[in-house]
Amino acid sequence: MKLAFVDFVFEEREAIRLEGFEIEVHPPLRTPAELVAAAAGTDVLLMRDQFGQVTAEVLAACPRLKLIVTRSAGYDHIDLEAARARGIVVCNVPDYGAHMIAEHAFGLMLAVARNICRGHERYRRLQRFDDTGLGGVELYGKTLGVIGTGRIGRHSIRIGQGFGMAILAYDVAPDEALAAMLGFHYRPLDEVLANADFITLHVPLIPDTRHLIDAEALARVKPGAILVNTSRGGVVDTLALKEALVAGRLRGAGLDVLEDERTAYHDFGQAHVVITPHLGWYTQEARDRILQISLQNVRAWMAGEPVNRVA
């Protein structure tokens, strides 16, 4: 059988060990034509979520394809309905260490709250060891709003409590047993937005969460709050966020994800925004875990017992 390993950037070739496959390795593939060229003659496609889109048209051009494994938790880059219609199994890597994304969220939170990047850039570019205008705000004693209390959200709750923060959370399916165990409270989204000094987003991008944080939601946010997004760019309406920042509604934002992050540049002007290029997941340990779970997905499918299946 043939396997195309695409969007190969982070892994080591010698770590790919699969018996019974002829394996091709490709760099990041962004256009449909590039993806089809790599996948059309293969049985299995292993890809990432940061580059190409597996549309119905791509699938139609790959009649031999039987399995897609995305080396990510997110799978909104794959047309699942079209895959099901063609009998193609789709698997993901649902949990490769949610803690590191929560850690990154707090890195962004601190960078904004304490003007870390501004101070660094002042010294590096202007050669000024000067704290004028760089007074920050503390996390201790503040309220953290956690939107989404899945694996990543739960780590954020624990970290926030370690900073001495009170926790308000919103989730479409509240886990009251978890709330009792960890000592936080679920509230409606509007109430969380209105009372949180810091807001961190940990929801998947699905139709119900696209632009969850829009102009209407931002109008309800507590003045001076800091927003952090390490989930998916489409959860936040970028134009509405820019307007809220310019208007001074938000103190700042920390963003590891953006809408159209690979194809568009979003100019936030002089607003206090710290942006990292989708680094929340990217640690050496996580990279290795993702690869091994992806390979396990292929082996389980070969054995006739697919795991981590999303379609």
CA separation for the pair 269, 228 (Å, rounded): 18
User: In this predicted model, which residue has the larger pLDDT, 116 or 72?
Assistant: 116
- Identified catalytic residue from 11, 104, 259, 261: 261
Same-domain pairing of 298 and 157? no
91 with 232, same domain: the answer is no
pLDDT tens readout for residues 8-54: 887 878 888 888 899 999 998 889 999 999 999 999 999 988 788 99
Spatial neighbors of 191 by CB under 8 A, at least 6 apart, are 168
**What CATH number does the domain containing 45 carry?**
3.40.50.720
Query: Catalytic residue at 19?
Result: no
124 within a domain of the structure (yes/no): yes
pLDDT in tens, 210-222: 999 999 999 999 9
Residue 307 confidence (pLDDT): 97
What's the number of domains the chain is made of? 2
Rg (CA), the chain: 21
Q: Which amino acid is located at 30 in the chain? A: R
Q: Give pLDDT, residue 49.
A: 83
N- to C-terminal Cα separation, the chain: 21
List 232, 251, 272, 287, catalytic entry: 232
Cβ-Cβ contacts under 8 Å for 143 (sequence gap 6 or more): 165, 166, 167, 168, 195, 196, 197, 198
Same domain, 76 and 110: no
154 is catalytic: no
Beta bridge partners of 236: 213
**Can you give the pLDDT at residue 295?**
96
Active site residue 158: no
What is residue 97's predicted lDDT score, i.e. its pLDDT?
82
pTM confidence score: 0.84
In a domain, 156, yes or no: yes
**Amino acid identity at 268:** F
Res 192 pLDDT > 90: yes
d(CA 112, CA 107): 9
Point out the catalytic residue in the list 154, 202, 278, 287. Answer: 278
For residues 57 and 32, membership in a common domain is answered with yes
